[in-house]
Structure 1
Amino acid sequence: MSDINKEDDLEIEEVKDIDSTNDDNDEDDYEEICYLCRRPESKTGKMIELPNDIHICSECMQKTFDAMGKGGFGFDDIPGMSNIPNISMINLADLQNMVPKKQKLKKKKVSEEKSKAPALDIKNIPAPHKIKASLDEYVVGQEYAKKVISVAVYNHYKRVATNTMDEIEIEKSNMLMIGPTGSGKTYLVKTLARILDVPLAIADATSLTEAGYIGDDIESVVSKLLAAAGNDVEKAERGIIFIDEIDKIAKKKNTNQRDVSGESVQQGMLKLLEGAEIEVPVGANSKNAMVPLTTVNTKNILFICGGAFPDLEEIIKERLNKQSSMGFKADLKDKYDNDPTVLSKVTIEDIKNFGMIPEFIGRLPIIFTLESLTKEMLIKILKEPRNAILKQYQKLLELDEVQLNFADPALEAIAEKALEKKTGARALRAIIEEFMLDIMYEIPKDENIGRVTITREYIEKTGGPLIDMRGVLKIEG
């Protein structure tokens, strides 16, 4: 029996050894962070290890000694320390609770094979027509916008894949997307990132402020991308950043107050859009003493800016009306008032008059517009995309073994109501939620209901839906 126990003990010891080696390997994948300046070991060099797992770089340690020396503290004074004013010894054990947990950065593993091979393979990048075909499955209409974004993204990732291997350096193709609310700007970018399988960060320009003021720093846009890439810097440097509501950082007109969230934010973003080394906090939106920093190069990050640009149509109309001549063949002043395509006539001069600075516009070379949604487009949005709203409700009722149908006149009534709200495709969801509430509440009560047909009368509140019972369905079949 004793021999058996000894063998068991040996097996347990071997398991412990394996576990310990695994832990050691995990620790080897990470590098220490300086407790004071928050820089990683790869930047500071070998660190000084103190009790309670505190690590301080030699530079910070030297600064600490210099500061203590200037304050009258010297090593020769240690025996008579009672005479030294304003100096108290720090107990490192008290810092145990202050040490942030898991404040370690993952080391970059650079193998010979990886360093030779490019990060992206040109052959794996889908061609523009394939990108557009994938977008067509989710986004209705906006043919011109889908074509522009497909070509721009394809060219951008060819640029990243080649990594300027020859003498000709390809410039970035950042984009500015202009379109009315609910036309599908954000949805287009989300679908694009899903197709390309690259990290995507969606930031809101309204929360950005000039450095030193309450709000998000401009670098927080890049830190969101780093978080989306799982704190992998190399992966983040090939990602896409979509800055929504970009029109909200336009230059404020006729104001005496400091413009901390307008022109100053545009100026702060200039280097970001062009390509620069940015110090980014890891795992947080703002820099502070307890967060490690890492450097991200924005040279290969694709920036897509989007905004509704309200009142831009009035600026375009004003410019077009000024061009009209006088006389019998002159254009009427109200010629463009009911023109649904007036936004597509936008020029850089119009965007400048809106309040965007020339340097900012210059770093967004590709400018395109999205169309306002028509009644026909709204009907298609309801039923054609892969995850259309109607398909979602049909699936929900299918789980209750009930078939849900929508009559064509009902779809037209929904689209007409959505156009009245003037909030684009967002209005569709609100309208459907309203009239589907009673149906989703009442149908689970009766297990004999087999089919529900939504009619125009039900949408307009002049009648009810058509309900067929299961027995009737069997007889019809």
Structure 2
Amino acid sequence: MSDDKNKDEVLETVSDSDDKKEFEDICYICRRPESKAGKMIHLPMNSNICICSDCMQKSLDAMNNSNFNYSDMMNQINMQDLFAMPPMMNNFTGDPVPKSQKIKKKKPKEEQKPLIDLKNIPAPHKIKAQLDDYVIGQEYAKKVMSVAVYNHYKRVATNTQDDIEIEKSNMLMIGPTGSGKTYLVRTLARLLNVPLAITDATSLTEAGYIGDDIESVVSKLLAAADNDVEKASQGIIFIDEIDKIAKKKNTTSRDVSGESVQQGLLKLLEGSDVEVPVGASSKNAMVPLVTVNTRNILFICGGAFPDLENIIRERLNKKSSMGFGADLNDKYDNVPNIMDQVTIEDLREFGMIPEFIGRLPIIFTLQGLTKDMLVKILKEPKNAILKQYQKLLALDEVDLEFDDGAIEAIAEKAIAKKTGARALRSIIEDFMLDIMYEIPKDDNIGRVTITKDYIEHTGGPVIEMRGTPALEEKHQV
């Protein structure tokens, strides 16, 4: 008999210990769990009732108050729990109400798997092949970015397994507006499935001045990673319009949006611990802060760098001399793709400080878009603009086609606007407005063909009704 009793005591002790591991106590007064309120004080008369230290202190302070009403306190006490009376039944489930209100303890977070696995990193030629499906031209830029990103994430995955520490491969992209800088980075981040933050350098100022602080670029990356610090610390930050923070020349005022911003970005590019607010763009007392390490964040900076061509030409023309074999002073005035000959000295002359350029070891240029490239952009990518409009009209069961003359006319208009690929959308929206408005009126329209005359406003589109032999034959095929 005594052995059975000892076994029951042992089982009860084990169950109590398991219960303590699985559940956490709740304060009888404020109903806060132990994880929020801290260690609980168990009343000696009944171990099922516990009170947090804050409520106990408030109770003692109230009792010491001369205006304290003891009758009100007794009315608020649950006598059933206090004297361990038989439990009441739950009105909803019919189960007995437990003597102590407890909640399950939160399980500790499992060790997160690394975001980038060395075996799953695609090789540079595979990255470039994927970029080719979305980006037309810019072969050199796609090749440089593929190798740089591949090496960067190999560095992240290996996490310096030996004494040889691999430095970051931050990039600087130089190219005219509309050449695809932002689109390249956005496509690259989508293919790699890593968080991406795109920010504009024009809004950045030195800390304490009107504008965004330097750390706001990391805040945007944290938001893009759903406030996951581990995921954000391995993402990509693209800072556009980086040429706008060049050092101002011939100024007597403090350069809070130029050289000062470059100085502030140095620690981010190199790698440091940065405190950023969660769910907000600025620090204040009401917003919690988290620490993000930028050591494994890949920074890509891009800018058009206007007037940089003149600096390059001026440097090259200095080599000219006098005599029969001398170079002409205007030899480099009409050289195509002169931006390819940019050097670090040219960027310093433009206004970028040496420390900033030194933290961007990979510098490459993008070419301006030609007519042939614009024609391919309209037709060949997976999400080409013409394919988007064809899909829109296909939802109305209407075929949309463009003849070759129309596509070339669109490309010529885009070149005249001098805004690169951005001009294509506005041009197409202009002449597609009437078509998108009129087609839903008539259910008999089966095909619309855009011609060169319609683009140049000298004619109209070719409209074919349903029942046309050629149209019927196409749908049967």
With the shorter chain as reference, the TM-score category is 0.7 to 0.9
Alpha-carbon distance, 1:266 to partner: 0.3
The worse-fitting range, judged by mean Cα deviation, of 316-325 and 432-441 is: 316-325
1:445 to 1:146, Cα distance in 2 relative to 1, 3 A: same
Q: Deviations over 1:276-297 (max 9, x none)?
A: 1111111111111111111111
The answer to which structure has the higher helix fraction is 1
* Alpha-carbon separation, structure 2, partners of 1:29 and 1:447: 67
* Alpha-carbon separation, structure 1, partners of 2:206 and 2:466: 64
From 279, 285, 290, the counterpart of 1:283:
279
1:133 to 1:29, Cα distance in 2 relative to 1, 3 A: farther
Q: Deviations over 1:146-195 (max 9, x none)?
A: 00000000000000001001111100000001110000000000000001
Specify the alignment match of 2:404 in structure 1: 408
Specify the alignment match of 2:199 in structure 1: 203
Q: In structure 2, what residue type is equivalent to 1:439?
A: I
Specify the alignment match of 2:446 in structure 1: 450
Q: Deviations over 1:234-292 (max 9, x none)?
A: 11111111111111111111122221110000001101100011111111111111111
Question: Quick check: 1:424 aligned with 2:420?
Answer: yes
Alpha-carbon distance, 1:324 to partner: 2.5
Preserved CA contact (<8 Å) 1:270 1:359? yes
Q: Which ranges in structure 1 are unaligned for 5 or more consecutive residues?
A: 1-19, 33-47, 52-77, 80-105
Specify the alignment match of 1:381 in structure 2: 377
Specify the alignment match of 2:95 in structure 1: none
Alignment partner of 2:318: what SS?
Answer: helix
Specify the alignment match of 2:232 in structure 1: 236
Specify the alignment match of 1:109 in structure 2: 109
State the number of aligned residues. 386
Alignment partner of 1:235: what SS?
Answer: helix
Alpha-carbon distance, 1:456 to partner: 0.9
* Alpha-carbon separation, structure 2, partners of 1:130 and 1:22: 51
Preserved CA contact (<8 Å) 1:278 1:295? yes
Alpha-carbon distance, 1:314 to partner: 1.0
From 171, 181, 185, the counterpart of 2:167:
171
Q: Pairwise CA RMSD of aligned residues?
A: 2.7
* Alpha-carbon separation, structure 2, partners of 1:265 and 1:333: 37
* Alpha-carbon separation, structure 2, partners of 1:23 and 1:189: 50
1:206 to 1:397, Cα distance in 2 relative to 1, 3 A: same
Specify the alignment match of 1:128 in structure 2: 124
Taking the TM superposition and a 5 Å limit, the aligned residue runs for 1:12-411 are: 109=109, 111=111, 120-411=116-407
Give TM-score, length-normalised by structure 2. 0.76
Alignment partner of 2:295: what SS?
Answer: helix
Give TM-score, length-normalised by structure 1. 0.76
Alignment partner of 1:323: what SS?
Answer: coil
* Alpha-carbon separation, structure 2, partners of 1:201 and 1:290: 24
Preserved CA contact (<8 Å) 2:375 2:408? yes
Sequence identity, in percent? 78
Alpha-carbon distance, 1:475 to partner: 7.4
Q: In structure 2, what residue type is equivalent to 1:371?
A: Q
Preserved CA contact (<8 Å) 1:31 1:107? no
Q: Which ranges in structure 2 are unaligned for 5 or more consecutive residues?
A: 1-21, 27-31, 38-51, 56-63, 66-105
1:146 to 1:474, Cα distance in 2 relative to 1, 3 A: closer
Alpha-carbon distance, 1:232 to partner: 1.1
Specify the alignment match of 1:92 in structure 2: none
* Alpha-carbon separation, structure 1, partners of 2:25 and 2:270: 42
Bigger relative CO (Cα 8 Å, ≥ 6 apart): 1
1:245 to 1:161, Cα distance in 2 relative to 1, 3 A: same
* Alpha-carbon separation, structure 2, partners of 1:50 and 1:466: 80
Alpha-carbon distance, 1:303 to partner: 0.4
Alpha-carbon distance, 1:121 to partner: 1.9
Alignment partner of 1:214: what SS?
Answer: coil
Specify the alignment match of 1:5 in structure 2: none
* Alpha-carbon separation, structure 2, partners of 1:228 and 1:254: 39
Specify the alignment match of 1:15 in structure 2: none
* Alpha-carbon separation, structure 2, partners of 1:320 and 1:127: 38
Preserved CA contact (<8 Å) 2:398 2:445? yes
Alpha-carbon distance, 1:341 to partner: 0.7
* Alpha-carbon separation, structure 2, partners of 1:323 and 1:439: 57
Q: Deviations over 1:400-457 (max 9, x none)?
A: 1111111111111111111111100001111111111111111222221111111111
Q: In structure 2, what residue type is equivalent to 1:253?
A: K
Alignment partner of 1:198: what SS?
Answer: coil
Alignment partner of 1:279: what SS?
Answer: strand
Q: Deviations over 1:94-134 (max 9, x none)?
A: xxxxxxxxxxxx998354xx5xx755321011110111011
Alignment partner of 1:167: what SS?
Answer: coil
Preserved CA contact (<8 Å) 2:174 2:365? yes
Preserved CA contact (<8 Å) 1:205 1:248? yes
